Amino acid sequence: MNIEQLDIRGHMAQFAPFDNLPDALLDRIAAAVEIRYFQAGSELLTKDQPIDALWYVRSGAVEMYQRSGRLFNRLGEGGIFGYSDLLRHRPVRYPVNAIEDTLIYFIPGAVFEAVCDEDDDFAEFFDTGGQRLKVTVEQQRDDSELMTTRVRKLVHRQPQMVEASTSLQEAAQHMRDANATCVLVIDVTETHSAYTFSDRDGKHWKLSGILTDRDFCTRVLAEGLSPETPVGEVMSRRVIVVQSDESVYEAMLCMLRNQVHHLPVLHRRQPMGVLHLSDIVRYETHSSLFLVNNIYLQNTPDELARLSGEVRTAFVRLVADGANSEMVSRALATIGRSFIQRLIELAEAELGPPPVPYCFMVLGSMAREEPTITADQDNALILDDSFDPERHDGYFEALARFVSNGLDACGYPLCKGDIMATNPRWRQPLAVWKRYFMEWMDDPNPERLLHSSIFFDLAPVHGEAPMVEALQDLIAEVAPQRQRFLAALARNAKNRTPPLGFFRTFVMERDGEHRKSINLKRRGTAPLTDLVRVHALACGSKAQNTFARLDDIEGTKLVADGVVERLRYAFEFLSMVRIRHQADAIEQGREPDNSVNPENIDSRERHHLKDAFEAISHAQQFLSFRYTMPSKKDAPSKQDAR
Amino acid sequence: MSIRRRDRQQADDWPTYLAARAQQVKEPRLSRFFAQTTLDPEMPIGEAPLVAMDFETTGLDASRHDIVSVGVVPFTLSRIRPADGNYWVLSPRRALSDESVAFHHITHSEVESAPDFTTIIDDLLTMLSGRLAVVHYRRLERAFLDAAMRERLGEGLLFPMVDTMSLEAQIHRQSWWARLRRWAGRPVASIRLHESRQRYHLPAYTGHHALVDALATAELLQAQIQYHYRWDTPIGALWR
């Protein structure tokens, strides 16, 4: 039978998941196809009718509705439907209508199930929701060796450990004998706590410090200390550690963030080795590493600005190495924070020491550690309550301007909404900041919150971090009790909707240059971070990062089982598509943006993209049930009178 | 009786003709075919077992040219079943011109090793038995099938056919709107298979392969019925 002449197979081979099927299985499917034509406007499937085949759109377009009558999905050429009901052997749940003249290929249920049994990838494609996304996300992750390599793989030797009473000379001899560049200092403790570990004899130990070869130079020799001095008097007590199952990449960022070269690696609480910066460099020469190092070596804003091109190079290389979205975002956040820190150091060098303590904080995506390559700057200054505008504001205004202009030159454009420390409103003592937050939470209205929700993602970059922590504590304490605040935030979180009402596959944005495109930020990641923020505030989470917030939300009963998992993968997927799109743009010499043309997305990814958008849409619908405005008599307010 | 006259006169009286042939026919295979093919003109098209058929030929004149390939696809209005269809390349008795080689995508060597029409008669008749045939431009398939049978079996084979081209002509050439357009000097709508399919937004296929065209014809009939007729339109009102 010359059925291959009919081009059924050739057509299906262009679309997911058929495109990845082995030839023999694709032949089997194509040979079993049956066909029917449907006129535009006719009903293909009615609710509760039995279904015995997988439906494939050969040409035309169809749409399906939920029980509520809400549009559920639209499919064009190559689209498939009916599988969830088919696989569960239940009648049709969503009616399907032809919105264009449509030619359907039917793949008989028995053939479909037989192929599912034989091909795992094919079967996985049809697993609904998060499961389907998960496969893709994990495949992406597996692509990169560096990103998946655990720290423990780089640790080959037990750490040198000495008690605090050990003399410096003895410690140095240990280091010499073991050819080590540092010793870990441990103390025996009576009590078993979250910071202790036990040895074979059942003794409890606590890691209390670290002493490096550099310390022998700066803290011992330079200070003229005696070799008999106990290490406990000289060691650094600030021990930055990493867990053995963290990625090498995470360890690297940890070193950069904390400006340390030695990183004790713990298995649970037991030190199992020390990672040195050179171990990582040897393992993989990585451009973002050198970039951050370089940032701290520059001595003027102009020199810093010259590095801005390297940010993009580092970004492209990271993406090419197969980093996942969290890694790329963290790297961009680390780079961005390094620029700010260095600029502030330079500003203080020029302006002198600050007249009162302060904290320079970042807001929005940078605070969430999720900036993209196109991020602008959102920052503010918290000043000590002893701040006197007359005497001190000149200094802080100059500092803010120095940092803002410097950042602008380094590729972080000024914030269009003027949310910057240069704006006197956002350069205030801690007490005023507390008042701001109380006002937003006590007297919310959606319009006002529209511009202030960005402040609910906040993180310290330089100065007195406890000031920002005080605000985070305040928010975590008050927000969960402010129903109207949460309701107003929830309402705003629904302003931007994912493109589910797309024609055929997607609704295209009608904005200027980007005809026929989807703005992945506006329609995807931004609504997702918005809705995650609402839940996070409701459960008193102090996390800023969207993934960390999702972890916190998962521990509550705020959302149904599985929702967090779906959102996590939706976020990872959308972020990754956006990141790759931006990396492509840079490589092709175009300006990176957030708009993608669905035609440039392969059909498999398109399915995942739609899953991700659906996950967001469902979560948005749920927001209005979860966070309702209290009735007027509970909280009379002018804004509610509409 | 010439085929052309047969074609014109029989439109309303296929049951009588089929019944008469069933009585008179001598050839056993044709006899079986006519015995099994009793089509009730009142049967709704939506319930009728159908078979789309397409021939590729060396030319347009059944007395001078031959069939080079045959494609058949059984279907109903609710399902087309390509897997149950069939396709044969045949050896024409008369030479295959270079033009028709190019036209049909069939090579000389394919044709040289191909069997004679005689070898497919059983399978073809089995496929057609009890089904209403659907073709695009019946004059060609009807004349060539009749001539090929007459030559091999000594008796001809005629039966009712639904002609998607003449349905398309009725819709697009004989309506008052089509006449108005013609009177106004507007071009006449094309009723060729490809152009007809476009009007129903059916996908474009690479043409002139008998099996592809048979499938294309089956899809076209499904579309025509949905647009212009009803599921319960009697087959007697559609066949020619």
| Best B50, B88, B205, B215 residue to mutate vs chain A (most A CBs within 10 Å) | B215
Residue in chain A closest to B222 (alpha carbons) equals A37
| Candidate from A5, A58, A59 with C-beta closest to B211 | A5
| CB within 8 Å: A1 and B226 | no
Q: Is the peptide bond before A50 cis (omega within 30 degrees of 0)?
A: no
Residues A412 and A454 in one domain: yes
Give the CATH number, domain containing residue A492.
1.20.120
Minimum distance, in Å, between the CA of residue A3 and any CA atom of chain B: 7
Between residues 72 and 101 of chain A, which touch chain B (CB distance below 8 Å)?
100-101
Q: Write out the H or E segment, with its range, that includes residue B126.
A: helix B121-128
- Among the candidates A126, A144, A164, a domain finishes at A126
Residue in chain A closest to B214 (alpha carbons) equals A6
| CB within 8 Å: A39 and B226 | yes
Residue A294 in domain: no
For chain B, say whether A35 makes contact (Cβ under 8 Å): yes
Please give the tally of structural domains in chain B.
1
- d(CA A97, CA A77) in angstroms, rounded, equals 14
Is the model's pLDDT at A568 over the cut of 80? yes
Minimum mean pLDDT range among A143-157, A359-373, B29-43: A143-157
Q: What distance lies between CA A168 and its chain's CA centroid?
A: 44
Residue B86's nearest CA partner among A26, A11, A5 is: A5
Between residues 67 and 106 of chain B, which touch chain A (CB distance below 8 Å)?
75, 78-83, 85-87
| CB within 8 Å: B82 and A59 | no
Residue A132 in domain: no
For chain B, say whether A107 makes contact (Cβ under 8 Å): no
| Candidate from B78, B82, B219 with C-beta closest to A33 | B82
3-class secondary-structure state, position A455: helix
Residue A299 in domain: no
Residues A364 and A464 in one domain: yes
What residues contact residue A326 under an 8 Å CB cut-off, 6+ apart? A547, A572
**Amino acid identity, residue A630?**
P
| CB within 8 Å: B82 and A42 | no
- d(CA A175, CA A215) in angstroms, rounded, equals 13
pLDDT digits (tens, 9 = 90+) for A27-63: 899 999 999 999 988 999 998 899 999 999 999 988 8
Residue labelled with tokens 């904080």: A361
| CB within 8 Å: A1 and B205 | no
Residues A210 and A337 in one domain: no
Minimum distance, in Å, between the CA of residue B104 and any CA atom of chain A: 13
Is the model's pLDDT at A142 over the cut of 70? no
Cα of first residue to Cα of last residue in chain A, in angstroms, is: 69
**Average predicted confidence (pLDDT) for chain A:** 84
| CB within 8 Å: B226 and A42 | yes
Is the separation of the CB atoms in B56 and B67 below 8 Å? yes
- d(CA A496, CA A522) in angstroms, rounded, equals 7
Residues A375 and A492 in one domain: no
Is the model's pLDDT at A636 over the cut of 50? no
Please give the tally of structural domains in chain A.
4
Size of interface A-B (CB pairs under 8 A): 68
Residue A475 in domain: yes
Between residues 212 and 231 of chain B, which touch chain A (CB distance below 8 Å)?
212, 215, 218-219, 222-223, 226-227
- d(CA B185, CA A548) in angstroms, rounded, equals 72
Residues in chain B with CB shorter than 8 Å from the CB of A38 are 226
- d(CA B129, CA A592) in angstroms, rounded, equals 65
For chain B, say whether A5 makes contact (Cβ under 8 Å): yes
Beta strand spans in A548-608 (E): 595-596
Q: Residue A232: phi, psi to the nearest 5?
A: -55, -25
Per the model's pLDDT, the better-predicted residue between A13 and A134 turns out to be: A13
Confidence band of A72 (pLDDT split at 50, 70, 90): low
For chain B, say whether A631 makes contact (Cβ under 8 Å): no
Sheet holding A270-276, edge to edge: A242-243, A262-267, A270-276
pLDDT digits (tens, 9 = 90+) for A78-118: 889 888 888 888 888 888 999 889 999 999 999 999 998 88
Question: What proportion of chain A, given as a percentage, has pLDDT over 70?
Answer: 87
Q: Write out the H or E segment, with its range, that includes residue A36.
A: strand A34-38
**pTM for this one?**
0.51
Confidence band of A194 (pLDDT split at 50, 70, 90): low
- Among the candidates A445, A480, A515, a domain finishes at A480
Give the CATH number, domain containing residue A346.
3.30.460.10
Query: What's the domain range around B159?
Result: 3-237
Residues A467 and A488 in one domain: no
Residues A161 and A83 in one domain: no
Minimum distance, in Å, between the CA of residue B67 and any CA atom of chain A: 18
Residues A355 and A386 in one domain: yes
| CB within 8 Å: A101 and B223 | yes
- Among the candidates A250, A285, A320, a domain finishes at A285
Q: Please tell me what DSSP assigns to residue A328.
A: H
| Candidate from A5, A36, A39 with C-beta closest to B78 | A36
Residue A114's nearest CA partner among A132, A133, A81, A87 is: A87
In chain B, what are the helix, strand and coil shares in percent, each to the nearest 5? 50, 15, 35
| CB within 8 Å: A39 and B206 | no
Residues A488 and A432 in one domain: no
Instruction: Report the complex ipTM.
Output: 0.88
Mean pLDDT by 10 residues, chain B (240 residues): 49 82 90 89 94 91 88 96 92 66 62 83 94 93 93 92 92 68 66 89 83 95 94 92
pLDDT digits (tens, 9 = 90+) for B63-94: 888 898 999 999 999 999 999 999 998 887 76
| CB within 8 Å: A42 and B219 | no
Summarize the confidence of residues A608-634 as an average pLDDT.
80
Give the CATH number, domain containing residue A215.
3.10.580.10
Is the separation of the CB atoms in A94 and A84 below 8 Å? no
CA dihedral of residues A416, A419, A425, A430 (deg, nearest 10): 180
Summarize the confidence of residues A529-533 as an average pLDDT.
94
* Burial tier of A447 (Cβ tally within 10 Å: 0-12, 13-18, 19+): exposed
Give the CATH number, domain containing residue B211.
3.30.420.10
Residue A375 in domain: yes
Residues A91 and A179 in one domain: no
Give the CATH number, domain containing residue A57.
2.60.120.10
- d(CA A318, CA A146) in angstroms, rounded, equals 10
pLDDT at residue B109, as a whole number = 66
| Candidate from B79, B215, B226 with C-beta closest to A6 | B215
Query: What's the domain range around A273?
Result: 155-285
| CB within 8 Å: B219 and A103 | yes
